[in-house]
Amino acid sequence: MGIDTAGLPEPDHYTAGIVQVMLDAVENKDRLLTHERLFNWHAAIFPTGRSGMFPITVGAYRAGDEPMQVVSGAMGKEKVHYEAPPSDAVPAMMSEFMSWINTENHIDPVLKAAVAHLWFVAIHPFDDGNGRLARTITDMLLARADGFPLRFYSMSAEILREKKSYYEVLEKTTTGSTDITAWLEWFLNTLRTAILHAEVTVKSVVQKASFWQRNREIAMNERQIKVINLLWDGFEEKLTSSKWAKIAKTSQATALRDITDLIEKGVLVAAADGGRSTHYELKDDAEP
């Protein structure tokens, strides 16, 4: 979205890998999805060749005779939610899957993203990282559906927020009949929620940018800028002088001077609801 990231902590190699994969998927949305591209994504997600403490096959499909199962529950009381196809069937299944992804097949592009996610998860082609790569492919196809690579909403993030219902609908859809209506309904409802969340986020970003543009001529010190940015970023408590002092790591007297200065400059106001201790809010947020 073009937001400056200067001053933010440097991401670790794991986070950097995830970001690189997602950027490649959406910025190069029209590139063919190939085995090699998928292997490169997988290798970027697991740069150490391990999932936690355990070594895994990286940049290649799973192998071996052991069944790939999705399991929950304590040892001895495990519940198998799903068993994926045998590993020797995976390469051919993935070739068929990618041929379908790369072909114009006259299906609604949003529904295609939903079907692709379910299909990939059902094959479960890698030792680990299948969920992350399924979400990556989903966002790539949604970028194709939108017709541009800028992502103002994240289906991946929304799936993670709805993880419990996600696994429930996957289990229902991947066992029994081949009817995937319930999955498609869940996917579309979740996509709608993702877009609504994005609308709130974008609105906040625009309002914050507009605030700083309007007040660009007002002199503020680093403490004042820090606390105001915190208010714009969703500080949910009531801002009192004592909390200001704690956030800005300064004395109570200095906090009061900072607050009084901003009130005089028309940036802050004392809240109108009274209470035992005075608290303050941005003038933009105050009731008329």
Reported as a single tens digit per residue, the pLDDT across 24-58 is 999 999 999 999 999 999 999 998 888 888 889 99
Q: How many Å apart are CA 46 and CA 133, to the nearest integer? A: 12
pLDDT at 106: 87
Domain boundary among the residues 177, 202, 227 is at 202
Within a domain: residue 211?
no
| Type of residue found at 102 | N
Within a domain: residue 194?
yes
Mark whether 193 and 126 lie in a shared domain: yes
Reported as a single tens digit per residue, the pLDDT across 97-156 is 999 999 988 899 999 999 999 999 999 999 999 999 999 999 999 999 988 777 788 888
| Type of residue found at 159 | I
Within a domain: residue 251?
yes
Task: Provide mean pLDDT across the span 1-19.
Answer: 56
Write down the mean pLDDT value for the chain. 87
Within a domain: residue 6?
no
Mark whether 255 and 148 lie in a shared domain: no
φ, ψ of residue 282 to 5 degrees: the values are -65, 140
Q: What is the CATH number of the domain that holds 269?
A: 1.10.10.10
Mark whether 79 and 184 lie in a shared domain: yes
Q: What is the CATH number of the domain that holds 47?
A: 1.10.3290.10
What does the block give as tokens for 271?
Answer: 């809240």
* pTM beyond 0.75, yes or no: no
Mark whether 231 and 197 lie in a shared domain: no
Is residue 240 within 8 A of residue 278, CB to CB? The reply is: yes
Within a domain: residue 33?
yes
Q: Is the pLDDT of residue 221 over 60?
A: yes
Mark whether 36 and 123 lie in a shared domain: yes
Q: How many Å apart are CA 185 and CA 197, to the nearest integer? A: 19
Collapse the DSSP code of 269 into the 3-class scheme (helix H, G, I; strand E, B; otherwise coil) and give the result: strand
Within a domain: residue 198?
yes
Q: Is the pLDDT of residue 1 over 50?
A: no
State percent of the chain over pLDDT 70: 90
Mark whether 100 and 138 lie in a shared domain: yes
Mark whether 144 and 18 lie in a shared domain: yes
Domain total in the chain: 2
Mark whether 138 and 79 lie in a shared domain: yes
Question: Domain limits at 143?
Answer: 13-202
Residue 33's contacts (CB-CB under 8 Å, 6 or more residues apart) are 98, 101, 102, 137, 140
Within a domain: residue 227?
yes
Q: How many distinct helices (H) and strands (E) make up the chain?
A: 11, 6
pLDDT at 237: 86
Mark whether 253 and 125 lie in a shared domain: no
**Residue 230, number of CB atoms within 10 A of its CB:** 14
